[in-house]
Amino acid sequence: MGDNIFLYIPNLIDYGRVGCIIYVCFYYNTNPLMTAFMYALSQALDAFDGMAARKFNQCNAFGAVLDMVCDRVSDAIMLSILAQLYPSLSGVFLLACGLDIGSHWYQTYSTQYCGEAHHKTAKTEYRLLHIYYNAKGFLFTMVLGMEMFLVNMYLKAHEHNIDVPDWFKIVNTSLLLFSVPVFILKSFISVIQLMSASQKICRHETQLKLEASKKK
């Protein structure tokens, strides 16, 4: 593949994720089961792009951005769909959407602004945020639980118009009950992430101004 970064294997995987999300955008109202499958597939592929990048020595800045954009956009789209399907909870889902995008944007910007290597390894004074990014089991549980919540909520809204056995509905409801606390905790972590990144930016800017004033 030479030096064509666009054709790196991890980036090809992410293009597949983009295709899945495009399907979700157009068919979420007409084909619930396939929509749920395509969304879940998009999230599952997220586990393989990083592995492929490391295995084939194809880690790249374009792919890192593409991966994060896929994560944020896919969650935003599904949260927006849930806001349509559950009008009484639309404010909750839209707020969660904005919080997810805003907190990750601040975290990424603060990492670059403060000269740190990666947003997942950035220093923080908040213990919960440190655990979230450094305890792989905890991070995996939070991400999996969040995506389960989105898919299970989506399927729950369509139970009346999809032909599935009763056991499927029972399993879906059980998984939903498990994932609701994860959704709440994940949203709380986003608040902490936003606070941590904001404080870091302000401290770094204050330090830069102090250093500049000393040079005058």
| Paired tokens of 195 | 């606070």
The residue type at 107: Q
Residue 2: other Cβ atoms inside 10 A: 5
Q: CA dihedral defined by 74, 79, 84, 89, rounded to 10 degrees?
A: 180
> Is residue 115 within a helix (H) or strand (E), and if so which, with residue range?
none
- For residues 60 and 3, what is the distance between their CA atoms, to the nearest angstrom? 11
CA distances from 14 to 47, 72, 124, 156 (A): 10, 13, 29, 28
- For residues 170 and 83, what is the distance between their CA atoms, to the nearest angstrom? 23
List residues with catalytic annotation.
71
- For residues 145 and 153, what is the distance between their CA atoms, to the nearest angstrom? 12
Per DSSP, 78 falls in state: H
